[in-house]
Structure formats: C-alpha cells, structure tokens
Amino acid sequence: MTAPQEMSVGEDDRVRLAPGVMLRQDRVRNHWQLLGPERVLILDEVALEVVRATTGQPPVTVAEAIDALAAQFDAPRTEIAADVREVLADMIAKGFLTR
C-alpha cells in the first residue's frame, strides 16, 4: 500500500512523536512498542531504529537521520532512505508521529 501524498515526508522535514505517544520496551512481551491513546504499535527492528534515529535528542532532519542510519548499518543510502520514508509515512498516517 502506498501512503497518500500528504503523508509523505521530505528529507528536510523533522518529525517527532505526536502528543501522548511514547516509546516503550515491553519486557513481558519482549518487544518495543509505541504507545498512544488507546493504541499500541509493535515495532520491528527497522521501525525501532527509524523511530530512534528520527525522534531522538537533539532534533535532526530526516536527511540527517538517514545519513546516520546508512553509516550505522553500512548500507546504501538510497535503500535506507526508502525504508525510512515508508516507515515515517505510515506512522504519520496512523497518528503516532507528526511533523
């Protein structure tokens, strides 16, 4: 599924957790999750790294987060960029992240 145009993220954008959203490690179920009002989103490894890289402190642009992930995983930047943008668009559409 492709995200609608208005949900897509540019490299100059900055994203942050939406109000009332928190990143949490669930020790009982053994995974990381984003929690929001009445909602739980279970994060796989890719999604977790994307959330950490884009919403950490100090705030960074999406481009800077992609650079950091490309270096961290020693992977081609274009590949990482595609993953990051897909994960972010999905989380924005679901209301877990905002720009």
Partner 1 sequence: MTAHCSTGTVLEPPLAILAELTHRCPLRCAYCSNPLQLDPASRELDTATWCRVLDQAADMGVIQVHFSGGEPTARKDLETLVAHATGAGLYVNLITSAVLLDRARLERLRNAGLQHVQIGFQDTVADKAELISGFPGGHPKKLEVARDVTDLGLALTVNAIVQRHNIDRVDDFIDLALGLRAGRIEIANVQYYGWALKNRGALMPTHEQLIRMDERVRARLPELKGRLVVDYVVPDYYGKRPKACMGGWGRKFLNINPSGAVLPCHAAETIPGLTFDRVTERPLADIWANSAAFQRYRGTDWMPARCRSCDQKEVDWGGCRCQAMALTGNADNADPVCDLSEHHGLLAGITSADGGTAEVPFTYRSFSL
Return residues touching partner 1 (CB under 8 A).
4, 6-7, 18-22, 24, 26, 28-29, 33, 35-40, 92-95
Nearer to partner 1, 40 or 71 (CB): 40
Closest distance between partner 1 and the C-beta of residue 59, in Å?
15
Helices (H), the chain: 45-55, 62-73, 77-93
Rounded to whole angstroms, the Cα distance separating 44 from 52 reads 12
- Closest approach, Cβ 86 to partner 1, in A, equals 15
Q: How many CA atoms lie within 13 Å of 91's alpha carbon, on the beta-carbon side?
A: 34
Q: How far is the CB of 68 from partner 1 (least distance, A)?
A: 25
